[in-house]
Structure 1
Amino acid sequence: MTDEHLDRLVRDADPYRPDVVRHLDGARHALLEEIMSVPPVHCLLEPPQPRPRGMVRRTAGALAAAAVLTGVLAVPAVLPDHQDDRPAAPAGTPVVYSAAALKAAEDNPRLLINRPGWKVETVYGFAKQQGTIRFRNGRQELEMNWYPAGDYDGFRADRLTVGKPEPVTIDSWPGDRFTYNAGDFAVLLRPRDGVFVELRTGGYWPRDMLDRVLTDVVRVDARTWLAALPAEVITPDRVAVEAAKVLADIPLPPRFDAAALGDIGANDPYHFGAEVTGRVGCAWIAEWLRARRTGDDAALQRATEALRGSHQWRVLHQMNEKGDWPEVFWEIADGFVAGSPKATYAQGLGCA
């Protein structure tokens, strides 16, 4: 793989690089009766399908200003059986969420699509005022990304180059619709609670269909939002257990704090694996650079062997069937093993 090929993979891994930001063509249990502040949501949550090959990670690291979506998940009226090994709670048993999970939910806009047929394809982020969720219904995609409120003016100025804004309201949340062409739209919601949200269509969207779907997007409380998440999404209360599984066969760098992974947010398994391995990779690279700078040959050898051994990490092989993040990781690691690091390593792995 040439440097040019690696640069292209890294660039394409970032769905919010500047040239795309301007023209993005993207987007279980029933809660107890006492949650009276949220209107009933009546739709069917379909299980997410695997992403096609080519999906490379974009998490809250530095691969870009992580475009990540709000919590938009359909809440089922008729709940499907759990497909994992977790026992379902007995009828009438309150669902208990950890403080970390509740905080992560409370810190994002918590939007749900109250319309049958929509399924979640990708979920990642929900930390540091950034997150992404992408929904699909047949040929239509709706991707929701949220960002810190401080970025709103720049986003809106850019969207004004697309066309004249048309006022819209999503569950009492005001915003503007921008039309790229007859079937391609963006909806930019104004800052609220420290964040703003952009909804981006993918596929062909007749205007009347978009208008109907927007009327079915609702903002809910944290418990409703968490109850709507697919079982495979790794929420903050599950990070420690799931991270231990990912790290089981991975040598850890000196002073690596696995507990610090708790700020990852909520992610589907692919993006979770990318976030964890990215942090480990960055830490080993930092150790490699330190050792070379100080002449610590033993430490340099340990770091080199750890990066070389990444080709055997189980999680990367599992992820390699779904996207290109492992290929990017290995190419960067191989550069350090060979003693000729790629200049793009920090961008590629999201190193701070």
Structure 2
Amino acid sequence: MNDSMDAQVRRTARMSDERIAALVGSTAEADLMGRILATSPANVRELVDEPGLAPAPSSGRGRLRPTRRRLVSLAVAASVGAAALFTVQAVQQDEGGQVWAAYAVEVAEGAPRLLVDDEDWSVEYANEFEPDRGSMDFTDGTHELWVTWSSTWDLELILNDRRDVAVDEETVTVAGQEGTLLTYPDDEYAVIWQHGDNVVEALTLGGVEESTYRDLIASIHTVDVDTWLSALPQDVVRPADTQAVLAELLADIPLPDGYEITPPAGAVTRHQLVHNVEREAVCAWVTEWVRAADAGDQAAVDVAATALGGARDWAVQDEVEHRDEEFWANIDSIVDDGVLPGGRELVISGDTEVEGWQVVFCV
């Protein structure tokens, strides 16, 4: 794990149950996430369908985009719910410019519509857009800036959470608003501010020089609906195509009996969907391996190990980026040696106790 990710884990892991409830949407969802981790894949759908446990919309630091990071949404990792996917494609084009789909305009009107005014920076990812929340990842090819917002967040609650691990803070101006600049260890920075109805956080992902970050924050500005929508990635999966894309990605991926992968709510690009599918399939088979081992069902253990052993050859691997050797070493530990990386001892994730292997493969 690199220094940047270590910093991310430290900050994320220190949230209390109360803060998780506020950041991810509801106490019910926080409870649901913890229960998902202790539930076999075959029973996840039954758990989610329990009255009163439907997950609330969520975003925030517990919702880091699932690509290239282990800090993946637990609700996504356990296939909780599906909703119509956002599309940034224009429905037509005329002399007056783009005419956007009605839902895209609704989302844009509710968003702070922030862009970086620097030709070296562009939007790399757009994730989980809803009318009341969303996130975008800007990059210059070397550094990353994760901007996330929600109209349901409480500014002081967010600030108090981040202050727990910050080493310094000061007041700055960002997009014409007063914000709080927090300095973390490992050359990480964040600015948090109230922007209309939304609370916004602009967080570095990876070490960056302080002067570079300050210049970047100074370049953030608000744009109109058309400009903002035009800047978003264009590989968002259309709602009508979602099932077809999932079927394509899962064509050569076996899943445990009774287990289904459903698309995450909000905006999702094909790139993100690829990573979700690959990660979730691996998590499902490791979960099945653990269940079978506990039950003494050697035949089921062998089936799960065989499925995991074939993961390298899944077609989605051609589209997965930055898969490190540690990941495959952990898979091989199960397949070749029958040893479960992370073990069965309980560890703390947030304020929730989970088994060590779940952190390795599912979180």
Give the shorter-chain TM-score range: 0.5 to 0.7
Among all aligned residue pairs of Structure 1 and Structure 2, give the percentage whose two residues are the same amino acid.
Answer: 25
Note if contact 1:278-1:350 (Cα within 8 Å) is conserved in structure 2: yes
Partner residue, 2:201: 197
Which residue matches 1:155? 162
Number of aligned residues: 275
1:1-352 residue pairs with structure 2 within 5 A? 8=1, 16-18=8-10, 56-58=68-70, 60-61=72-73, 89-91=92-94, 95=99, 97=101, 109-114=112-117, 116-124=119-127, 131-136=135-140, 142-146=145-149, 149=154, 150-159=157-166, 161-163=167-169, 165-171=170-176, 173-178=177-182, 186-190=190-194, 195-200=199-204, 202-203=208-209, 205=211, 209-210=215-216, 212-214=218-220, 217-218=221-222, 221=225, 225-234=228-237, 239-258=242-261, 260-263=262-265, 265-267=267-269, 269=271, 271-319=272-320, 322-325=321-324, 327-337=325-335, 338-343=337-342, 344-351=356-363
Give, as a single letter, the amino acid of the residue that structure 2 aligns with 1:18: R
Looking at structure 1, the residues matched to 112 and 93 of structure 2 have their Cα atoms a distance apart, in angstroms, of: 30
Matched residues in 1 for 2:239 and 2:71: separation? Answer: 15
| Cα distance in 2 between the residues matched to 1:91 and 1:157 | 51
- Asked whether the 8 Å contact 1:234–1:266 carries over to 2, the reply is yes
The CA distance in 1 between the partners of 2:108 and 2:313, in whole Å, is 35
The answer to whether the Cα contact below 8 Å between 1:246 and 1:315 also exists between their aligned partners in 2 is: yes
Q: Normalized against structure 1, the TM-score is what?
A: 0.60
Alpha-carbon RMSD: 4.4
What are the Cα deviations for residues 224-258 of structure 1, in whole angstroms up to 9, with x where unaligned?
64443122345767543433222121112222222
Q: Secondary structure at the match of 2:191?
A: strand
In structure 2, what is the equivalent of residue 77 of structure 1? none
- CA shift, 1:190, in A, is 3.8
Deviation of 1:323 after TM superposition, in Å, equals 0.9
CA distance in 2, matches of 1:189, 1:88: 34
Change (3 A) 1:240 1:103: farther
Where in structure 2 are there 5+ consecutive unaligned residues? 15-66, 75-88, 343-355
- Taking a change above 3 Å as real, the CA distance of residues 243 and 190 of structure 1, as seen in their structure-2 partners, is same
Inter-CA distance 238–108: structure 2 relative to 1 (3 Å threshold): farther
Is the CA contact (8 Å cut-off) linking 1:284 and 1:303 kept in structure 2? yes
The residue type equivalent to 1:17 in the other structure is: V
The letter for the 1-side match of 2:9 is R
Q: Secondary structure at the match of 1:60?
A: coil
SS at match of 1:17: helix
Distance 1:144 1:14 in 2: 19
For the Cα contact (< 8 Å) 1:13–1:56, is it kept in 2?
no
Question: Partner amino acid for 1:314?
Answer: A
CA distance in 2, matches of 1:111, 1:238: 28
Aligned-pair distance for 1:309?
Answer: 0.9
In the alignment, is the contact (CA less than 8 A) between 2:180 and 2:193 conserved in 1? yes
Structure 2 residue aligned with 1:69? none
For 2:242 and 2:7, how far apart are their aligned partners in 1? 25
- Name the CA shift for 1:204/1:220 in 2 (closer, same or farther; >3 Å): same
Letter in 2 for 1:330: W
Distance 1:98 1:107 in 2: 13
In structure 2, do the counterparts of structure 1 residues 209 and 289 end up closer, same or farther at CA, with 3 Å as the change threshold?
closer
Partner AA of 1:56 in structure 2: R
Q: Judging changes above 3 Å, is the alpha-carbon distance between structure 1 residues 273 and 126 closer, same or farther for their aligned structure 2 residues? A: same
Whether the 8 Å CA contact 1:122–1:135 is kept in 2: the answer is: no
Distance 1:218 1:236, change over 3 A: farther
Separation of aligned partners in 2, 1:254 and 1:106: 43
- 2:122 corresponds to which letter in structure 1? K
Secondary structure at the residue paired with 2:192?
strand
Which consecutive residues of structure 1, in runs of 5 or more, have no partner in the other structure?
Answer: 1-7, 23-54, 63-85
- Between the aligned partners of 2:72 and 2:109, the Cα distance in structure 1 is 18
